Amino acid sequence: EDKGLKTYYQDYFPMGVAVSPYAIKGEQAELIKKNFNSMTPENVMKSGPIHPKENEYNWKDADAIAEFAKANGMRLRGHALVWHNQAPDWLYVDENGEEVSKEVLLARLKSHITEVVTRYKDVIYAWDVVNEAISDDPDEFYRDSKLYQICGEEFIARAFEYAREADPDVQLFYNDYEVINPVKREKIYKMVRGLQDAGVPIDGVGIQGHWSVFEPSEETLRATIDRFTGLGLEVQVTELDVSIYKKEHTRREKLPTDDDTFTDELKKKQIEQYDMIFKVFRENKEKLSSVTFWNVSDQYSWLDHFPVPDRKDYPLLFGEDNQPKEVYWTVVDF
Ligand code: G3I
């Protein structure tokens, strides 16, 4: 009999899942209740969706997810207060269409963070305060976003301070992807160290974990977890999935070698990869305070439309039919 993912892992860490409004209704809702005890809103709490105009918030979808979490006794991770992506256009310009000053942008960020954090104070235990501020380019430190262009690196420290002011008890995270890449990892380490040294209120680092059947290796995964826990902060895996494709973040076209079929060979590779990943996670249970999957089942994954449109992926533990895949049984059998 299947006890459900969260029960097998009850002595390890909470099991989380990223959800959009469709997932908290119908079949996926049942799957969520049985298997997960933590949720992250996939999109609806990002600044664009939740704050479309300066004086207008769209709370409906975010409230529905918060209510679902409360009703089912689940933990909720907030995602994400400050991100260059899915941010509303109004944020950066004044009423004449001119780019705003650093002071104005920081004031807008403060007001946004205060409103959103305060509203979900009773249910959100941790926030991704700043998401993906580090560049993928080895020759560049910070990502060259609008936020950075207008404020420089200062927006990062200020965002954490505004969030702390709004809720003294919530855990505050920096969250990023490709942290298995040693160059990017060291930049993140350095930035977080700098924030700590400056007395900025940061509690944790989120390892997104958008991985594949090809990476990371066990050695790299261990090195990544060790490096961040070495900061003395909470470490969480915030956006786990294991794609069947090689990762190339800049590629947007389907290659002739991309085949949408989930072959037996790939299934086997995925089982081995998830098996290794969860073995390492379990061994690090004192250091990892949460593991969250990015989407519920292979019925829908963000990877079905990114980086290549219309390329089906099979990155999760539950299948297109919302039933446990073979890999699920490997992950819960230890
Ligand atoms: O809501 C609109 C809809 O009105 C419109 O018709 C449709 C047409 O394209 O787009 C819809 O918005 C899409 C949105 O997801 C909601 O489905 C956006 O185009 C699409 O870009 C957006 O993708 C999200 C992506 O972040 C944005 O970069 C993914 O769902 C979401 O899974 C993904 O999540 C991110 C994390 O927040 C941060 N880390 C990486 C992770 C994966 O990229």
Q: Give the count of beta carbons closer than 10 Å to the beta carbon of residue 12.
A: 17
d(CA 8, CA 135): 37
Q: Please give the C-alpha separations between residue 244 and each of 119, 300, 334, in angstroms, as whole numbers.
A: 39, 15, 24
Ligand 1 probe mutation, 306, 308, 310, 316, most atoms within 8 A of CB: 306
Distance 306 CA to ligand 1 centre (A): 9
30 assigned to active site: no
85 within ligand 1 shell (Cβ under 6 A): yes
Burial of 30 (0-12, 13-18, 19+ CB in 10 A): exposed
Instruction: Name the active-site residue from 95, 239, 286, 326.
Output: 239
From the CA of 46, give the closest atom in ligand 1: 37
pLDDT for 325: 98
Per-residue pLDDT of the chain in tens (334 residues, 90 and over written 9): 999 999 999 999 999 999 999 999 999 999 999 999 999 999 999 999 999 999 999 999 999 999 999 999 999 999 999 999 999 999 999 999 999 999 999 999 999 999 999 999 999 999 999 999 999 999 999 999 999 999 999 999 999 999 999 999 999 999 999 999 999 999 999 999 999 999 999 999 999 999 999 999 999 999 999 999 999 999 999 999 999 988 765 566 666 666 788 999 999 999 999 999 999 999 999 999 999 999 999 999 999 998 888 889 999 999 999 999 999 999 999 9
Distance 20 CA to ligand 1 centre (A): 10
Beta bridge partners of 93: 99
- DSSP, collapsed to helix, strand or coil, labels residue 159 as helix
111 within ligand 1 shell (Cβ under 6 A): no
Q: Please give the C-alpha separations between residue 178 and each of 50, 212, 220, in angstroms, as whole numbers.
A: 27, 11, 11
What is the ipTM, given to two decimal places? 0.95
- In eight-state DSSP terms, residue 49 is H
pLDDT for 246: 82
pLDDT for 260: 81
Distance 302 CA to ligand 1 centre (A): 7
101 within ligand 1 shell (Cβ under 6 A): no
Ligand 1 probe mutation, 174, 211, 302, 305, most atoms within 8 A of CB: 302
- DSSP, collapsed to helix, strand or coil, labels residue 181 as coil
**Rg of the chain, C-alpha, whole Å:** 19
Torsion of CA 190, 148, 306, 179, to 10 degrees: 0
pLDDT for 253: 65
Distance 43 CA to ligand 1 centre (A): 7
304 within ligand 1 shell (Cβ under 6 A): no
Closest residue by CA, ligand 1 atom 42? 302
43 within ligand 1 shell (Cβ under 6 A): yes
Distance 221 CA to ligand 1 centre (A): 27
d(CA 245, CA 259): 9
pLDDT for 310: 83
302 within ligand 1 shell (Cβ under 6 A): yes
Q: Annotate 40-67 with b (16+ C-beta within 10 A) or e (fewer).
A: bbbbbbbbbebbeeeeeeebebbebbbe
From the CA of 208, give the closest atom in ligand 1: 39
From the CA of 302, give the closest atom in ligand 1: 32
